[in-house]
Amino acid sequence: MEHYQFDTQALITNCSLNETELRDAITTKFVGNSLIAGGDHDLMKLHFHTNQPGQIIDYCATLGDIFDIVIENMDRQAIGKKG
C-alpha cells in the first residue's frame, strides 16, 4: 500500500461537476486514497490523501470557486507535530 503524506481538503462553490463526476475525475487524474466528495452545484466538499496536494487544489480551482483550503502533513501529525 502506497503512503500518502498530505490530507488535502477544499470547498468548491458553483462546481461544474456533480459528486459522481468529481469522484471519477479525481480518481482518474490523481494518485491517492481516502477520497470523500459530496455536495451539489452550490457547495461541494473534497477530501483526498495524496502526495501532490497543489495539483488537486489547482484542478479544483478550474471547477468553481474554492475556499477553506486545508493541506495537512500527516507525517508530521504522526510524530506529534503540528500538521
Distance CA 53, CA 2 (A): 16
pTM of this structure: 0.91
* Statement: residue 22 has pLDDT above 90: yes
Residue 38: band (very low, low, confident or very high) from pLDDT cuts 50, 70, 90: very high
Average pLDDT over residues 11-20: 97
The domains of the chain are located at 6-78
The answer to whether 8 touches 56, Cβ cutoff 8 Å, is: yes
Helices and strands (DSSP H and E) totals, the chain: 3, 4
* Statement: residue 1 has pLDDT above 70: no
Domain 6-78 has CATH 3.30.70: yes
Convert the pLDDT of each residue in 44-81 to its tens digit. Answer: 999 999 999 999 999 999 999 999 999 999 999 888 88
**Which pLDDT score is estimated for 36?**
97
